[in-house]
Amino acid sequence: MNKLSKLVSGSYLYGTNDDLSDRDYHGVYLPTKQDILLSKVKDEIKNKYKEEHLEETYFSLQFFVRLACQGQTGAMDMLHTPESMTMISSDVWKELVSLREKFYSKNIHAFLEYAKQQSIKYSLKGDRRKDLSDVVTLFKNQDPDYRIHESWYEIPSRIRRRQDLLMRQTHRIEPLYPPLSRYLEK
């Protein structure tokens, strides 16, 4: 793969990383002539290395330019990545960065979609954290001899309903929370 750029992204780019953070890299690659002629160009190539907590995502040059023209937040982040966070920078990439102002747009649709996705993502995380806190509080306040299956109906119904609702909304087969019934004594 002819890499035109490789850039630090995610929590390491924004300085929000901690000991458990994965290292994320985004980049742009130039497809081979053969792939272009045979229409086998992949818009996106992802490589995950779980042992090293590393994830790389490369966009084809054509796809990246399309994303930048749409004003996609990820493409804008890449174009504004500081040189200190740039691992590979070809002449083509440097030219794109020098022209980044040409990709600016007053059309904020892409940004609004990004903001909407982020708000949904973090809203769900907050809801899950609140649900877990409620269940932990419930069990901490129980008499140790009290059987867990007797507590099922004391768990707020919003938690039990939310799991079912989220499963239907996301079309998941697996529940988003482990089913509490598996922990209940028979």
pTM (global) more than 0.75? no
The band of 150, judged by pLDDT with boundaries at 50, 70 and 90, is low
Section 59-71 average pLDDT: 93
Superfamily of domain 2-103: Beta Polymerase, domain 2 (3.30.460.10)
* Rounded Cα gap, residues 42 and 53, in angstroms: 24
Alpha-carbon gap, residue 159 to 128, rounded angstroms: 9
Nearest to 81 by CA among 106, 64, 66: 64
> Is it the case that residue 176 has pLDDT exceeding 50?
no
Give tens-digit pLDDT for 154-163: 666 656 555 5
Listed range (35-44, 57-66, 109-118) with the worst mean pLDDT: 109-118
Residue carrying structure tokens 């780019």 = 13
The terminus-to-terminus CA distance of the chain in angstroms comes to: 56
Q: What is the pLDDT of residue 25?
A: 95
Residue 56 CA to residue 58 CA, distance in Å, equals 7
Mean pLDDT over 81-88 rounds to 94
Within 8 A by CB and 6+ apart from 177, the residues are 128, 131, 159, 163
Mean pLDDT of 22-44: 94
CA distance 99 to 69: 12
Mean pLDDT of the chain: 80
- DSSP-derived 3-state class of residue 130: helix
